[in-house]
Amino acid sequence: MTETPFGDRLRAAMDAHGPFCPGIDPHAALLESWGLPDTVEGLADFARTCVEAFGGAVACVKPQSAFFERFGSAGVAVLEDTLAGLRAAGTLSLLDAKRGDIGTTMAGYAWAYLSSDSPLRADAVTVSPYLGYGSLRPALDLAAATGRGVFVLTLTSNPEGPSVQHAVRDGRSVAAGVVDGVTADNAAARERGGLGSVGMVVGATVGSAATDLGLDLAGSAAPLLAPGLGAQGGTPAALRATFGDALPQVLGTSSREVLAAGPDVGALRAAARSAADALVTALDTPPT
């Protein structure tokens, strides 16, 4: 039986809950602000609270792998439980791992996060194309086979990003090459007017960079993960200038402002719903 493509599942979730993806970022300062110890036990309490608050209430949830990995194997076990909890809640997971390598090593990362048999499987994972877009092929192919997705770093919100992403070779920017690859992989979804399963990460604070570089984000049919909202300075209203015709593809994400409402489950859920409602208003894409 063919798996339902991730892009179709994400489109349905965004239409139902609004285009917002809260993060689960259990760094030490947040654990402290929640009155939790900076231990694997505190990590587990934090993650369970987030799953309870966000499960069934938002389109997608983005755990940040690094904040689990810092506790070693015990932290990775908590990450496995967190992903399993989101699956049980019927909520899509996007694991923010930003993996990128070549050959069998990339295939190993792909299996870890995108195989249906892996305890670390997520519905989608972030990947880095800076060993060449083609180096991502093991992840792209496995995601397509299992109905999962990948989000490719394209225009990131960190100040160092443009030195690589805006660089030009043979008259084309590095970012344009990434968009070309994503567009080709989403060709079938684009032809049927759907959302593809290969997404891009485009920061909410990159301003007019996509336009300046001549990138056709709308034509890519890619879901566009837009980090940088809230604490990093991005506003929902600014997304209109950044994404233009691609606004219906935008999935906004924020962590610190929403997580600051914890540890109360109801307050966390309300903060996530408020962020989703603000995006619906800003993007003029009301849930159906």
Q: Are 208 and 242 contacting, i.e. CB atoms less than 8 angstroms apart?
A: yes
Cis-peptide, bond into residue 63, ω within 30° of zero: no
C-alpha 159/C-alpha 233 separation (Å) is: 13
Q: Are 253 and 21 contacting, i.e. CB atoms less than 8 angstroms apart?
A: yes
**Judging by DSSP bridges, how do beta strands 250-254 and 224-226 pair with one another?**
parallel
Q: Treating both helix axes as pointing N-terminal to C-terminal, what angle do 103-114 and 137-146 enclose, rounded to 10 degrees?
A: 30
Residue 275: left (phi > 0), alpha (psi -120 to 50), or beta? alpha
Residue 137: how many other CB atoms lie within 10 Å = 17
Residues 6+ apart with CB under 8 A from 255: 22, 23, 24, 25, 62, 64, 230, 231
Tokens of 169: 């070779």
Known catalytic membership, residue 62: no
Q: Are 129 and 136 contacting, i.e. CB atoms less than 8 angstroms apart?
A: yes
Residue 32: how many other CB atoms lie within 10 Å = 12
Among the options 98, 137, 166, 172, which is catalytic?
98
79 closest CA partner among 25, 138, 139: 25
Residue whose entry in the numeric block shows the structure tokens 């994972």: 125
Which residues form the catalytic set? 98
